[in-house]
A and B are shown apart, each in its own frame.
Chain A
Amino acid sequence: MTNFPNPSLGRRALIRNGGLALSMGAIIAACGNGRSGSDDPGRLGVAPPAPTLPEAVVNDAVLLRTAQSLEYTALAVYEQAAGLDVLNADETQLVGRFVSDHQRHAADLGALVVRAGGEEYTCPNPFVMERAVGPILAALDGTDDLHRDVLNIAYSFEYLAGASYQDLVSLLEDPTLRSTAMLIGGEEQRHAAALAMAINPDVLISPALFGEPVENDTDGFPVPYAVPSTFGQLTGIDVVVGPRDEVEGTRFAAQLQTPAANSFVYEYETC
Chain B
Amino acid sequence: MIDSAVADHAAIERTTRRALFGAGVVSALALVGSRPAGASSGLSDADLATAAFAISLELSARDLYDAAIAAGADARVWMVMREQHEAYASRLSGITGISAQGRNAAVYDSLEAEFATSDPATAGFNLENAAAATHTELVGMVEDRDIVAAMASFVSMESRHATVLATLAGQAADFDAMFVNAATALSPEA
Contacts and interface: CB of A to CB of B under 8 A. Distances in A.
Interface stretch (A24-32, A41-49, A136-144, A178-186): A178-186
Contacts of A204: 77, 164
Interface string A183-224: 101110111111001000000110001100000000000000
A185 B155 contact: yes
Contact of A182 (B6, B10, B139): B139
Main secondary structure of the interface of B (DSSP, over half): helix
Interface in B145-164: 145, 148-150, 152-164
Interface stretch (A50-58, A124-132, A226-234): A226-234
B157 A230 contact: yes
A230 B86 CA distance: 10
A205 B152 contact: no
Nearest to A113: B2
Given A162-B156, A166-B155, A189-B156, A114 B163 contact: no
Contact of B87 (A104, A227, A231): A231
B77 A190 contact: no
A179 B180 CA distance: 15
Contacts of A108: 3, 6-7, 10
A110 interface: yes
B181 A186 contact: yes
A107 B5 CA distance: 11
B84 interface: yes
Nearest to B6: A108
**Which of under 10, 10 to 19, 20 to 34, or 35 or more describes the interface residues of A?**
35 or more
B179 A97 contact: yes
Contact of B91 (A178, A180, A182, A231): A231
The size class of the interface chain B forms with chain A is 35 or more
A191 B179 contact: yes
A121 to B, nearest CB: 12
Contacts of B6: 104, 107-108, 111
B140 interface: yes
Contact of B159 (A97, A112, A167, A189): A189
Interface stretch (A169-177, A237-245, A246-254, A259-267): A169-177
A97 B2 contact: no
A234 to B, nearest CB: 8
B136 A227 contact: no
B151 to A, nearest CB: 8
A230 B158 CA distance: 10
A67 interface: no
A169 B164 contact: no
22 contacts: A107-B2, A110-B2, A162-B159, A170-B145, A170-B148, A170-B152, A175-B139, A176-B14, A178-B139, A182-B139, A186-B132, A186-B159, A187-B181, A190-B160, A194-B167, A194-B179, A197-B164, A205-B77, A209-B83, A227-B161, A231-B154, A232-B156
Interface of A: 94, 97, 101, 104, 107-108, 110-112, 114-115, 120, 122, 162-163, 165-167, 169-170, 175-180, 182-183, 185-187, 189-194, 197, 204-205, 209-210, 226-232
